[in-house]
Structure 1
């Protein structure tokens, strides 16, 4: 499902105009992004948690040349599914 399909599904389910749904989804993504940039964790009970994890620097290899390449440390966002979401996905 892409963003357009998500907007259509939410609009149909909620009865809200598509323009309002687009603004709500964009706002939610912006707020989650800003919270993660600030180092906060975003928890949606029953759905899951968005967190930032730190990956240490590693030394890799260029697959084309075999040359050693230094990969710097970085922060990466992760999503951990909540129990209700996992249960819903695994139910028949």
Structure 2
């Protein structure tokens, strides 16, 4: 399911228009991302979003075989609930 399909499903299951459903979804996702930058965002019965730091590492360019440096970065991770309710 992609974002457009999710917006359509939300609109279909609620009394929202597609525009309002898209706005609601974007607001929720924006708040999850901004919240996870400060502390883990736990949605009980669904899972936890949090930011994790990845260390810099060496890699290989698959097209050329050259060694490259992959820089350190911060990524969002999601851990699903053991017993999802939804």
- Count how many residue pairs are aligned between Structure 1 and Structure 2: 86
Mark the runs of 5 or more structure 1 residues left unpaired by the alignment: none
Kindly provide the CA deviation profile for residues 19-57 of structure 1, in whole angstroms up to 9, marking residues without a partner as x.
Answer: 221111010111112123x33211110011111111111
**TM-score normalised per structure 1:** 0.79
2:75 aligned with 1:76, yes or no?
yes
What RMSD, in angstroms, separates the aligned Cα atoms of the two structures?
Answer: 1.8
Mark the runs of 5 or more structure 2 residues left unpaired by the alignment: none
**TM-score normalised per structure 2:** 0.83
Structure 1 residues 71 and 11, CA gap change in structure 2 (3 angstroms)? same
**Structure 2 residue aligned with 1:62:** 61
